Amino acid sequence: MMKASSIHFVLGGETPYKDLAPAFPEILKMFLAETEQVPEDEEIMLMFIELNTADLERNMKPEGYNRKGRMRLVFPMDKPEFYVKAVGKGADVARVGEKINEILAASGIRYTVVNNDLPEL
């Protein structure tokens, strides 16, 4: 069975980025912990959270986490969505995607999930 290399979370609602702001710190912390990319310096972690959340609160596209590592958390320029993308083989995108899905669902955020590389059933 083929593994997905990316999972997309397409945001809905009238202010999709702003709606994501309250849940984003939990999403980013979980993402970095699950992908073993937590910065050694806690100040750097706080900076990532603050900068991204500030953009979201202004209903603007945030930076996400697009650094070298096993996975990236990417906000594309052209649509209100974000996705988790595996950079190399062996990264468990589905597991991280499921955890993000749980956080979003618990937060009441409107969104749909698309597994980019897998055919729809």
pLDDT at 83: 95
> What residues contact residue 47 under an 8 Å CB cut-off, 6+ apart?
none
- What CA–CA distance (Å, rounded) separates 7 from 86? 9
Indicate the pLDDT class of residue 116, thresholds 50, 70 and 90: low
Chain-centroid distance, C-alpha 46: 16
Indicate the pLDDT class of residue 4, thresholds 50, 70 and 90: low
For the beta sheet containing 64-65, the strands, ordered from the edge strand earlier in sequence to the opposite edge, are 64-65, 71-74, 81-86, 6-11, 111-115
- What CA–CA distance (Å, rounded) separates 71 from 93? 8
Chain-centroid distance, C-alpha 89: 19
Whether 18 has a pLDDT exceeding 80, the answer reads: yes
Report pTM: 0.88
Give me the phi and psi of 107, to 5 degrees please: -85, -10
Encoded amino acid at 37, one letter: Q
